[in-house]
Structure 1
């Protein structure tokens, strides 16, 4: 008498019965992410990330009051225009400078339903001016973040 052979889980996953559980639509398109540095040290971090190849991410520096952004090429552009087709904004701070710009950007994103994230790049410090600046305006907050965390965040969100 022979015993029936058990099929492996990999083989079972290819059966018609299991196929009905597969997701058969493509991954979502890359996010239209805007990354904004709020101080000089954050600008260095953002410039390093901007040097890599991204699909839809755009990189800026903001100064108080935050109605305009400065591109990595030095061009001044209105905040409202840059948020028009965006679905994610990442604010990066190391010192807590440009608190008014963070508030302006955060309020503009809230009105438009744009997801906001904040990177508090203060390795080893759980409390800082940067945390106090970003906390009210970032739905997702990475504290304390390392400089490499920006690139990892952008990769994770398919920027």
Structure 2
């Protein structure tokens, strides 16, 4: 008489009983991320990141008061329209400029339930005007961020 061979966890996972616990819908599509530069140095970083191939990410520059955004092609578009299909906004700052725009965008995101992230690109410095500008409006804040952190963040969030 032979001894029964124990079933492996891989084999057990393929049973009908275990199949009912599987998630049977596809992964979510790429996030509709909006990346907004708040100053001239941040614009150069955002522009460089925009040149990569992204799913639904769109890239802008904002100036006070922040009701309009400027695309990388120089077109002016209303903030409200750009947030309509968005589920993530990344604010990028190096100098703390355009704090009113950061406040406008942050408030608009909060009302719509859009997740906001802030990148304070001030390598080697833990405090700056950029940090003070973004802190109230970013649910996630990367400080001090390096220039390549924006691309890594976008990849991590499947932008």
Summarize deviations over 1:23-42 as a string: whole Å, max 9, x none: 11111222211100011111
Structure 1 residue runs of 4 or more that deviate by more than 4 Å after TM superposition: none
Partner of 2:56: 56
Distance 1:94 1:20, change over 3 A: same
Q: Does 1:10 align with 2:46?
A: no
Instruction: Provide the secondary structure at the position in 2 that maps to 1:137.
Output: coil
Give 2:36's aligned residue.
36
**Separation in 1 of the partners of 2:145 and 2:11?**
42
Give the TM-score taking structure 1 as reference length: 0.92
Alpha-carbon distance, 1:80 to partner: 1.6
Deviation readout 1:70-119 (Å, 9 max, x if unpaired): 11011111212211221211100111111111011111112222211111
Unaligned runs of at least 5 residues, structure 2 = none
Equivalent residue number for residue 92 of structure 1: 92
Deviations 1:56-79 (A, max 9, x none): 111001111212111101111121
Query: Using the alignment, how far apart are the partners of 1:48 and 1:11 within structure 2?
Result: 47
**Could you list the runs of 5+ residues in structure 1 that have no partner in the other structure?**
none
Q: Match for residue 75 of structure 1?
A: 75
- State the 1:133 CA deviation: 0.5
**What is the TM-score when the length of structure 2 is the normalising length?**
0.92
CA–CA distance in structure 1, aligned partners of residues 116 and 14 of structure 2: 40
